[in-house]
Amino acid sequence: MGIAAAHAVLDVIEEEKLCDRANMLGNRLKQRLESLRGDVPEIVDIRGPGFMNAIEFNDVKKKMPSADFANAVRLKALDKGLILLTCGVYGNVVRFLAPITIQDNVMTEALDKLEASIREARA
């Protein structure tokens, strides 16, 4: 029974091209975050495979990890209805864990809220 269920899941992943969707969504997220680098020097890294991505923030003056900046982004996003998770050894990373079945319009709305939150955290 368990093997049949596993095969059914793998069939859905293949039929619905979920791996391709994960890569497309991840690329979309990374491109949006990369577009902010010029205006947001606090961004020191954007990483992750597929749609499992993270963005790392540093304090520009101290050149050290900034949990404060990551938390400010998280709180600004929460005010907009976007739930983010901070993590990392220094608490300076925001990790993205959206489902790959996210609707395109919802993804666009989330990216807009994310960008606004990052920009507001700089202010």
Please give the CATH architecture assigned to the domain spanning 17-122.
Alpha-Beta Complex (3.90)
Distance of CA 6 to the CA centre of its chain: 28
Return the domain boundaries, the chain: 17-122
- Tell me what percent of the residues of the chain surpass a pLDDT of 90: 92
Tell me how far apart the alpha carbons of residues 24 and 14 are, in angstroms, rounded to a whole number: 15
The amino acid at residue 85 is L
Q: What is the pLDDT of residues 68-103, one digit of tens each?
A: 999 999 999 999 999 999 999 999 999 998 999 999
Residue 60 CB: number of other CB atoms within 10 A?
14
For residue 43, give the 3-state DSSP assignment. Answer: strand
Q: Residue 1: what pLDDT?
A: 79
Q: What is the pTM of this model?
A: 0.89
